[in-house]
Chain A
C-alpha cells in the first residue's frame, strides 16, 4: 500500500536512520481490533524475524480470535 507521507510508519514508531539508508526494520502483527499482538523493532537491516515465526504467530492469533 503506497504511503508517501509515511503515516503508518510514523504512527507505529518506525525509526529513520540516515546512516542505515532510511527506515530500519519495524514489523508488527495487528489484529482486527487494532491491538498490536507482536512487535519487532530493530536497528539492523538483517535483524528481521523468520517467516516461519510470523506464520506460526498468525496461526496462533487466528486460532485465539
Chain B
C-alpha cells in the first residue's frame, strides 16, 4: 500500500471561526468528494456536554464545507473502560472511512491519556498515511505534541510547572515538535499574563526547561493555523496572526501567508515510516464504499434524462424511487453521484 500522507492543520484556536473555515476549505479542496468527516469527542470526553462540544464543530463543518457534500459523523470515543471506549472498533467505524479527521477543544492531558496507544489513535495515524487530512485545534493541538503543556494542571489546579509526553504525532516524520496554542492570548488583560496558552511567559520559560535540546516548539496565535502539506513538503501559516518557531536562541516568527519548507522543522519525507500495528492498519485500509446496484444506477440515469428534458415531476419521482432503495442522488457539474443513505 503506497504511503501518501494527507495534510495536517494545527490551529491555535478558532475552530468555528472565519480563520478555521478557510483552513478547512483549503484542506477539503485537496480531498475527494464527498468528504467523509469524523469529529472526535475524546479531548472533551470527560465533560458532561462533550456531544455538544463536538456537535458544534460538526455543524460548522457541515455548513462551511457544504460545497464538498460532507458526511459528518461524531465519534463518541470518550473514555477507556467505558461503553464509549477509544478501543471499541464498532464505535470507531466512522474513522475507518474518514478522509478528514478533526479533534479539538477539551483537556490536552485527558486526550493523551485516552488516546496514547489506543486503537482510535492508531487508526487515525493509518488514515493519515492513506491520505486523510488531520485537523487539531486548541487542546488537541497540545495533545499531539512531543511534549505537552499540562495547561489545566498548571493554570487551574496549581501544580508545579512540568511537561508531559504527548502523542508525538510528527515523531515518525523525524521531528520532535511541541505545540502551544493560544500563544498570544490576552484574556487576562492588564491584570494577568494569559499568553502562552494561559500559563504566561514566566511559567512558559520554566516549562521550556523541561524540554530536550532537540525539541522545537511552535507557538500558534489565536485564530491562526499552520498547515503541513506533505505533498509539497511545505508549511503554510493561515489566519489572522502568526506562528512562532522556538529553538534555543533561535526564535522566528512567520506571519499569516508565510510559508517555509518542511526541513525548517526537521520533517523528512515519509519513505521510512515505522510500522503501525497490523490490526489498526487493516481496519483503516479495508473500508471500501459500497457500489450502487445496477438498478439504482439505471434509475439515476433515467432521472438525469428527465432533468435534461426539464421533466421535473418525473425527476422527483425517480429521486424518490432511488431513496426508497437506500440511496441518495446528488447532482454535480460532472454528473450525478450516488451515496448510501
Contact indicator A42/B18 (Cβ below 8 Å)? yes
Contact indicator B63/A41 (Cβ below 8 Å)? yes
* Chain A count of residues within 8 A CB distance of the other chain: 14
* Chain B count of residues within 8 A CB distance of the other chain: 12
Interface status of B202 (Cβ within 8 A of chain A) = no
Contact indicator A46/B67 (Cβ below 8 Å)? no
Decide: A44 near B64, CB < 8 A? Known: A35-B331, A60-B333.
no
Interface status of A11 (Cβ within 8 A of chain B) = no
Residues of B within 8 A of A40 (CB): 67
Residues of A within 8 A of B18 (CB): 42, 44, 46-47
Quick one: which of A17-49 are within 8 Å of B by CB?
33, 35, 37-42, 44, 46-47
Contact indicator A39/B21 (Cβ below 8 Å)? no
Contact indicator B307/A33 (Cβ below 8 Å)? yes
Interface status of A51 (Cβ within 8 A of chain B) = no
Contact indicator A42/B333 (Cβ below 8 Å)? no
Digit string of B301-314 for contact with A (CB within 8 Å is 1, else 0)? 00000010010000
Closest Cβ–Cβ distance, residue A42 to chain B (whole Å):
7
Cα distance, A61 to B332, chains bound together (Å): 11
Contact indicator B17/A39 (Cβ below 8 Å)? no
Interface status of A10 (Cβ within 8 A of chain B) = no
Residues of A within 8 A of B331 (CB): 35
Decide: A64 near B333, CB < 8 A? Known: A39-B67, A47-B21.
yes
Closest Cβ–Cβ distance, residue A4 to chain B (whole Å):
26
Contact indicator A41/B333 (Cβ below 8 Å)? no
Contact indicator B333/A39 (Cβ below 8 Å)? no
Residues of A within 8 A of B17 (CB): 44
- When C-beta atoms are compared, the residue in chain B nearest to A29 turns out to be B67
- When C-beta atoms are compared, the residue in chain B nearest to A63 turns out to be B333
Cα distance, A40 to B310, chains bound together (Å): 27
Contact indicator A42/B310 (Cβ below 8 Å)? no
Cα distance, A47 to B333, chains bound together (Å): 25
Residues of B within 8 A of A38 (CB): 67
Cα distance, A42 to B18, chains bound together (Å): 8
Closest Cβ–Cβ distance, residue A35 to chain B (whole Å):
6
Digit string of B16-42 for contact with A (CB within 8 Å is 1, else 0)? 011001100000000000000000000
Interface status of B66 (Cβ within 8 A of chain A) = yes
Residues of A within 8 A of B307 (CB): 33
Residues of A within 8 A of B310 (CB): 33
Cα distance, A64 to B310, chains bound together (Å): 17
Name the contact of B333 in the complex, choosing from A33, A44, A46, A61 (C-beta under 8 A). A61
Residues of B within 8 A of A35 (CB): 331
Q: Which of B63, B307, B310 has the most CB of A within 10 A?
A: B63
Residues of B within 8 A of A44 (CB): 17-18
Q: Which of B17, B22, B64, B333 has the most CB of A within 10 A?
A: B333
Contact indicator A37/B66 (Cβ below 8 Å)? no
- When C-beta atoms are compared, the residue in chain A nearest to B66 turns out to be A39
Cα distance, A35 to B330, chains bound together (Å): 10
- When C-beta atoms are compared, the residue in chain B nearest to A13 turns out to be B63
Closest Cβ–Cβ distance, residue B310 to chain A (whole Å):
7
Closest Cβ–Cβ distance, residue B64 to chain A (whole Å):
7
Contact indicator B67/A42 (Cβ below 8 Å)? no
Closest Cβ–Cβ distance, residue A51 to chain B (whole Å):
16
- When C-beta atoms are compared, the residue in chain B nearest to A45 turns out to be B18
Residues in A lying within 8 Å of B, measured CB to CB = 33, 35, 37-42, 44, 46-47, 60-61, 64
The list of the 8 closest CB pairs from A to B, nearest first, reads: A47-B18, A44-B18, A39-B66, A64-B333, A41-B63, A35-B331, A38-B67, A39-B67
Residues in B lying within 8 Å of A, measured CB to CB = 17-18, 21-22, 63-64, 66-67, 307, 310, 331, 333
Q: Could you list some 10 contacts between A and B, CB below 8 A?
A: A33-B307, A35-B331, A39-B67, A41-B63, A41-B64, A44-B18, A46-B18, A47-B18, A47-B22, A60-B333
